[in-house]
Amino acid sequence: MKAKPSRARIATPEGLDAVYGVHAVRALFERGQPPRELWLQEGRAEARLDTLQESARQSGTKCVGVARETLDGVAKGAVHQGVIAFAPPLKAESEEALWFRLGAWQQSSPPLLLILDGVTDPHNFGACLRSADAAGAHGVIVPKDKAAPLNATVRKVACGAADVTPVYQVTNLSRAMARLKTHGVWIVGTAGESAQSLYEVDLMGPVAIVMGAEGKGMRRLTREGCDLLAKLPMTGSVSSLNVSVATGVCLFEAVRQRHVS
């Protein structure tokens, strides 16, 4: 199916998020969440995007051929790879949904959760979601305040993970952590000054790993709500890692322990 070209200046669909990049757009179709509209770069790029056009045809998504300059304007400097989809905005799961899921746990493996305290950069948030999905984490918990929004940038960086990884938004993070404990979830905070290495911590049971904001780390009440604090051993000249990199290391240590068992 050839995308219908549009020579006139066109407006972006109202009320929808722009999702850009081949991987992020493909994920919408693969997850059964096709976008309402698909903009494809005119010219040679259209042939490269044949599979996306076929997915759009099968799902009834409207395709429009546009100039690269139009895509550049919508993406605002981000790499769009010749394609932008317009889909309903992502919405965080409610706090009640988290308690219901934990109360009726049906997974074969114990809960593995990620808590982000004060991560406000959408790029870091998206990268954390990507790591969480890759590690098979069952959800990400964020506070309503001082947290990055679930926007198009997050979707792009997460490469589809933002559409499939549950994000639970809680009103009061320290209170939510206390309630997690009543569900048997062990809460492990990450702190560089801790004397205990993450590799010495048992992550095989129900666990939530807490990552703080870059520079500031966890807030005081968040830190006090942890069952224990652990650090990543740093043997080089740098003193810390980007929060998304540290998130991946921590989550995959839990994966390693669970697979070894």
Residues contributing to the annotated binding site for S-adenosyl-L-methionine: 212, 232, 241
Paired with 213 in beta bridges are 217
Query: Could you write out the three-class secondary structure of the chain?
Result: CCCEECCCCCCCCCCCEEEECHHHHHHHHHCCCCCCEEEEECCHHHHHCHHHHHHHHHHCCEEEEECHHHHHHHHCCCCCCCEEEEECCCCCECHHHHHHHHHCCCCCCCCEEEEEECCCCHHHHHHHHHHHHHCCCCEEEEECCCCCCCCHHHHHHHCCHHHCCCEEEECCHHHHHHHHHHCCCEEEEECCCCCCEHHHCCCCCCEEEEEEECCCECCHHHHHCCCEEEECCCCCCCCCCCHHHHHHHHHHHHHHHHHHC
The two structure tokens encoding residue 138: 């069952």
In contact, 139 and 98? CB cutoff 8 Å: yes
Paired with 117 in beta bridges are 212
Known binding site: residues? 212, 232, 241
Q: How far is CA 193 from CA 117, 208, 226, 253, in A?
A: 18, 20, 15, 19
